[in-house]
Amino acid sequence: MNGYGFRHGARMEWIKLRSLRSTWWLAIAAVVSMAAAGSGVGLGYRSHTPVPTAAQILNNSLGGAVLAQLFLGALGVLVVTGEYGTGTIRSTFAALPRRWIVLAAKVAVSGGAALTVGLAASFAGYLSGQLAIRGTAIPAASLGDPAILRAVVLTGLYLGATALIGVGIGTIVRHSGAAIGTLFGLMFVPMILAGLFGEASIPVGRFVPLLMLLNSIAVTSPVPGLFSGWISSLLMCGYAAVTVLGGGVLLRRRDT
């Protein structure tokens, strides 16, 4: 009977995560990219005619999530591949030979961290968009409006889920460059393909992460034909679960 459990794995992973500079740089980059996109959108619309709606400002000011997801996805990938690349994974598995515990701890710790950063980034995008339109005729978007709050929160959730997809792909691929390439490919290629077919692609496109983000999750009301924001977000969590479970199955079998 092992004396250690999930709690021990989680404490170890938390120390490992916060003791790397790359974690902090990626987190800062995610927040900054959304804040910059938010204020850019707000400033761009200041003198726009006709006066844009609150929804227009909100939808666009969350657009920085396209960039933020790459930073947080990379963060998730590196939580795993950073250990394979350096050999640290052997120390980790020697300390906790039950590998599922290690994977569960990585998911919980990096997922929790990415969700927190994702929410912070999303609120930063919203707030800087709102700050940039202050003093204009553009109506403010209040977080008291459930549609606004939902879009901001679900965008944060989407970013957290992206990091977990990164953890899963990292566990499957084990090589930093290849895993990050795979993740970015999975994010952009389906969207580009769907884009080729325009509206005809909606039955498939509504399952594509980036299209869900831009047309269902980070908007006040989804584009017709797409799932609601909540369903799209759940789909993202489902993708994360599938990649993590796939990684876990391989992790048990493989030598390190």
Partner 1 sequence: MIELRELTKRYGNQVAVDGLSIRVQPGVVTGFLGPNGSGKSTTMRMILGLDAPDRGEALIGGVRYRDLKWPLTTVGALVEAGAFHPGRSARAHLTALAVSNDIRGSRVEQVLRVVGLSDVATRRAGTYSLGMRQRLGVAVALLGDPAVLLLDEPVNGLDPEGIRWIRDLLRGLAAEGRTVFVSSHLIAEMALTADRLVVIGRGRLLAETTVAELAKSDDSLEDAFFRLTSQAIDYRGGAWMSGSHARRMGAS
Q: Which stretch binds partner 1 (CB under 8 A): 17-25, 57-65, 134-142, 174-182?
A: 17-25
Q: How far is the CB of 179 from partner 1 (least distance, A)?
A: 16
Per residue, what are the HEC states of the chain? Answer: CCCCCHHHHHHHHHHHHHCCHHHHHHHHHHHHHHHHHHHHHHHHHCCCCCCCCHHHHHHHHCCCHHHHHHHHHHHHHHHHHHHHHHCHHHHHHHHCCCHHHHHHHHHHHHHHHHHHHHHHHHHHHHHHHHHHCCCCCCCCCCCCCHHHHHHHHHHHHHHHHHHHHHHHHHHHHCCHHHHHHHHHHHHHHHHHHHHHCHHHHHHHHCCCHHHHHHHHHCCCCCCCCCCCHHHHHHHHHHHHHHHHHHHHHHHHHCCC
Q: Is 86 in the site for partner 1 (CB under 8 A)?
A: yes
Q: Is 100 in the site for partner 1 (CB under 8 A)?
A: no
Write each residue from 65 to 84 as x if it is in contact with partner 1 (CB under 8 A), else as -, in one continuous string. Answer: -----------------xx-
Choosing from 2, 50, 146, 196, the residue that interacts with partner 1 (CB under 8 A) is 2
Q: Of the two residues 11 and 48, which places its CB atom closer to partner 1 in the complex?
A: 11
Q: How far is the CB of 56 from partner 1 (least distance, A)?
A: 42
Stretch 21-50 residues interacting with partner 1 (CB under 8 A)? 21-22
Choosing from 28, 51, 53, 88, the residue that interacts with partner 1 (CB under 8 A) is 88
Choosing from 12, 26, 37, 212, the residue that interacts with partner 1 (CB under 8 A) is 12
Q: Is 149 in the site for partner 1 (CB under 8 A)?
A: no
Q: Is 94 in the site for partner 1 (CB under 8 A)?
A: yes
Q: Of the two residues 38 and 82, which places its CB atom closer to partner 1 in the complex?
A: 82
Choosing from 6, 93, 184, 188, the residue that interacts with partner 1 (CB under 8 A) is 93
Q: Is 96 in the site for partner 1 (CB under 8 A)?
A: yes
Q: How far is 254 from 163, CA to CA, in rounded Å? A: 23
Q: How far is 199 from 209, CA to CA, in rounded Å? A: 16
Q: Is 16 in the site for partner 1 (CB under 8 A)?
A: yes
Q: How far is the CB of 82 from partner 1 (least distance, A)?
A: 6
Q: Of the two residues 78 and 157, which places its CB atom closer to partner 1 in the complex?
A: 78
Calculate the alpha carbon distances from 5 to 9, 76, 97, 107 in Å.
Answer: 7, 22, 11, 15
Q: Is 90 in the site for partner 1 (CB under 8 A)?
A: yes
Q: Is 196 in the site for partner 1 (CB under 8 A)?
A: no
| Spatial CB neighbours of 213, under 8 Å, sequence gap ≥ 6 | 65, 66, 69, 155, 158, 232
Q: What does the binding site for partner 1 look like in residue numbers (CB under 8 A)?
A: 1-4, 8-9, 11-13, 15-16, 19-22, 82-83, 86-88, 90-98, 253, 255-256
